[in-house]
Every structure is written in structure tokens, then in C-alpha cells.
């Protein structure tokens, strides 16, 4: 097999909704608040803390702060998606990177999901599954209208094809 030296997958064309940044930030903030609340409650009943409890909580807090400060923008830069008549392609992750491609002819279901907080930001996630449990393709945090369009497009294309290669 000949491997060209500089072959790569181009990034998918579209970004997710810009409101996703705010959404990720708010959910990070919420989980940070929950952790602080729990830690405070535990501290009130049980103190002084041994060093390992302090270290563990400290590490958790630092991680949550990173999630709050850095993750949303980084993630927005990396999360991308694209749908062609042939395939759906997404890229996600912020420290790790995950690229997924599924041919539309093998798609079995197209689901949308809007969590309570996501609805506040008019966001919507699409999950496309194939016959393999290892291959669901998720587009996180699309603009609600875009999501509706994409789902309509996907169902139209997948409805036309037969067979799921099981």
C-alpha cells in the first residue's frame, strides 16, 4: 500500500452554534457550584481534612476551573460537522480528538435531544446510529433550526436507501 506522506482528513465544514460556548460555560459553572456546595457541606460536618482529601478536592476544583475557563472555546474550535449526500462526518473533543464518519446508506436512526439547559439556549443535539453499537455519530449543540433542517435532510436521504449491512 502506498501511503502519501501528507494525507489527512480535512476538518468538517461547519461549526456548531456559537451559543454552544455559553451553554458549555454555564454547565461547567453549574457543576463547579455543585462541587463547591458538596465540599462545603462535607467540611461543615467533618474537619479538619487529611491531606489526601484536600489534594483530591483541590485537583477536582482545578479541573472544573479549566473546564470553565478554557474548555468551551477550545471545544468550539474543534467541534465541527458536515453532511453530504453520501456520508455524515463529525469531529469532537478538546483534549482528545474524535472523528467519525458514517455513510448515510447505513444509517438506521436519527434522534434529536434537547436537555433542559440546552433548550434555554435553543440548542439541539443530533445522534445518528448505524447497525454498529460502536459507531453512533453525534453532532452536539446545533442551532435548533439548523438541527431541524439537518434531520429532515438526513431522513430524506436515509429513507431512500436500503440495507444496513448487518
Partner 1 sequence: MSEPPGDLQPVAQPDGGWQRLDARMLLVGPVRTLWQLLLPALVTLFGIGRATSDMPNWLIPIVLLGPIALGTLPWLTTRYRITESQFEKHSGLLNKQRLVAPLDRVRSVDLEASVLHRVMGLTKVQVGTGVDSTRIVLDSLSHSQAEQLRLTLLAASARRTTGPTTQSATAPGAEQPGAEQPGAEQPDPRQPAAPEVALGGVPTAPFSVPPTTSSPQLLATLDWSWLRFAPFSLTRLAVVLGAIGAFLQLGDNLRLITQDRVGAALHWVIGFAIPVLLVVGSVAALAGWVVLAMAGYALQWWDLRLVREAGTVRMTAGLLATRSTTVEESRIRGVQLSEPLLLRMVKGAELAALATGVGSGGVSKLLPPCPRSVAEQVGQSLLDAGPALRIPVIGHGPRARRRCHVQAQLRGLLLTAVLLAAPLYLNPQWWRWGAAAYALVIVAAVIAAELTFANLGHALTPRHLVSRYGATVRTRVALERQGIIGWVLDQSFFQRRAGLADLRATTAAGAEQVVIRNVPYAVAVALADQATPGMLTPWVGAPSGRHRR
- Residues lying near partner 1 in the complex (CB under 8 A) are found at 1, 3-15, 82, 84, 86-87, 89, 95-103, 106, 130-135, 137, 162-166
108: DSSP letter: -
Measured from the Cβ of residue 37, the count of other Cβ atoms closer than 10 Å reads 10
- Give min distance, CB of 38 to partner 1, in A: 25
The owner of cell 501528507 is 6
- Give min distance, CB of 133 to partner 1, in A: 5
120 within 8 A of 101, measured Cβ to Cβ = no
Closest to partner 1 by CB, 40 vs 162, is: 162
- Give min distance, CB of 108 to partner 1, in A: 9
- Give min distance, CB of 122 to partner 1, in A: 19
Closest to partner 1 by CB, 30 vs 62, is: 62
Residue 109's closest CA among 132, 86, 79, 140? 132
Q: What residues contact 18, with CB distance under 8 A and at least 6 apart? A: 76
Amino acid at each position: 500500500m502506498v501511503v502519501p506522506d501528507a494525507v489527512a482528513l480535512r476538518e468538517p465544514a461547519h461549526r456548531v452554534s456559537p451559543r454552544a460556548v455559553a451553554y458549555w460555560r454555564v454547565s461547567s459553572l453549574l457543576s463547579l457550584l455543585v462541587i463547591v456546595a458538596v465540599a462545603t457541606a462535607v467540611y461543615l460536618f467533618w474537619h479538619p481534612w487529611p491531606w489526601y482529601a484536600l489534594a483530591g478536592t483541590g485537583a477536582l476544583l482545578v479541573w472544573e476551573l479549566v473546564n470553565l475557563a478554557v474548555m468551551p472555546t477550545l471545544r468550539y474550535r474543534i467541534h465541527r460537522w458536515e453532511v453530504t449526500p453520501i456520508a455524515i462526518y463529525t469531529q469532537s473533543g478538546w483534549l482528545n480528538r474524535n472523528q467519525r464518519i458514517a455513510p448515510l446508506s447505513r444509517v438506521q436512526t436519527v434522534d434529536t435531544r434537547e436537555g433542559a439547559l440546552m433548550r434555554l439556549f435553543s440548542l439541539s443535539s443530533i445522534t445518528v446510529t448505524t447497525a454498529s453499537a460502536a459507531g453512533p455519530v453525534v453532532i452536539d449543540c446545533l442551532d435548533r433550526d439548523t438541527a431541524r433542517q439537518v434531520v429532515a435532510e438526513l431522513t430524506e436521504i436515509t429513507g431512500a436507501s436500503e440495507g444496513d449491512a448487518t
